[in-house]
């Protein structure tokens, strides 16, 4: 990543976190604000990033009807974690080099690096523009995703204006700044905590773990060892006690015939990689 881009990313993240502190101002807190941040976080985090960016676009674990896919991708863009093309390319490179040289957020470089430092500090593993095109050729070829690559910041500003007109500064603070901070850290914890803390059910060449509290914060993404064992799987919580809220969405969408081509590992695949005998 270019030095100026890294600097701007760091400044932007700092300002967003500072803006979220305004939530502690009593005049900017109402019950409607909590409802707003819950709904907005669900749309941008659960539907946008977890379901669409990750399981649909990155791993093609299922296929959504195009209008639904584009709508959820728009939600993901409003999470301000990067446009779909860049996000997918970074994540695919992570899987190609997980916890080894070449991984953009290699946990071997420490918790803080894997959590946030990789985004704004000098990072030789961050994919170049050529690598982004190579890791995400399917999205790069789609005009809608090329549009979102340029529209992320204008869309966020437009959302802020709408929230201000509807609910004043309180809705801007909660609907933009607080929401973004929650979304950031729930996603970043998958890169950091879910490569350090928890248990491992499957043998993989990385340090991925299943971390229950990260799974709760990230709508099921914390069952990360399961995911690295079977990246193609639309379901991450593979055991009965592993709550995967995003998988519930997949089943509902499939039932409504808004999704198909749902991919899951077979029992043979699971037994082959599982530690010990059986599951």
- C-alpha to C-alpha distance for 131 and 216, rounded to whole angstroms: 32
Query: By the 8 A CB rule, do 190 and 225 touch?
Result: no
pLDDT of residue 31: 87
pLDDT of residue 69: 98
Torsion of Cα atoms, 120 then 86 then 228 then 119, to 10°? 0
pTM of the full structure: 0.94
pLDDT of residue 40: 96
Backbone angles phi, psi at 249, to 5 degrees: -65, -40
Which of the 8 DSSP states describes residue 25?
S
- Which residues lie closer than 8 Å to 197 by C-beta, 6 or more apart? 209, 211, 214
Series of mean pLDDT values for 10-residue runs along the chain (279 residues):
83 96 91 93 97 98 98 97 96 97 96 96 94 96 96 96 95 96 97 97 97 97 98 97 98 98 97 75
pLDDT of residue 1: 58
């Amino acid at each position: 990543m270019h030095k100026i881009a890294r600097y701007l990313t760091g400044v932007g993240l700092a300002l967003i976190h500072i803006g979220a502190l305004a939530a502690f101002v009593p005049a900017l807190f109402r019950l409607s604000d909590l409802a707003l941040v819950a709904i907005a976080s669900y749309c941008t985090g659960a539907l946008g990033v977890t379901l669409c960016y990750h399981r649909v676009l990155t791993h093609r674990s299922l296929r959504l009807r195009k209008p639904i896919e584009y709508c959820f991708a728009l939600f993901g863009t409003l999470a301000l974690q990067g446009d779909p093309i860049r996000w997918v390319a970074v994540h695919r490179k992570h899987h190609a080099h997980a916890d080894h040289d070449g991984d953009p957020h290699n946990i071997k470089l420490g918790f803080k690096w894997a959590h946030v430092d990789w985004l704004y500090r000098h990072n030789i593993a961050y994919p170049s523009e050529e690598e982004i095109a190579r890791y995400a050729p399917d999205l790069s070829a789609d005009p809608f995703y090329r549009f979102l690559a340029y529209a992320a910041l204008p869309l966020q500003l437009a959302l802020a204006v709408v929230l201000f007109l509807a609910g004043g500064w309180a809705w801007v603070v909660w609907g933009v700044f607080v929401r973004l901070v929650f979304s950031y850290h729930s996603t970043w914890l998958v890169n950091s905590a879910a490569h350090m803390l928890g248990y491992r059910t499957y043998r993989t060449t990385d340090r991925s773990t299943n971390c229950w509290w990260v799974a709760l914060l990230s709508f099921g993404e914390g069952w990360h060892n399961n995911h690295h064992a079977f990246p193609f799987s639309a379901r991450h919580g593979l055991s009965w006690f592993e709550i995967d809220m995003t998988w519930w969405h997949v089943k509902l969408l499939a039932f409504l015939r808004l999704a198909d081509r749902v991919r899951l590992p077979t029992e043979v695949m699971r037994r082959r990689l599982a530690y010990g005998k059986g599951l």
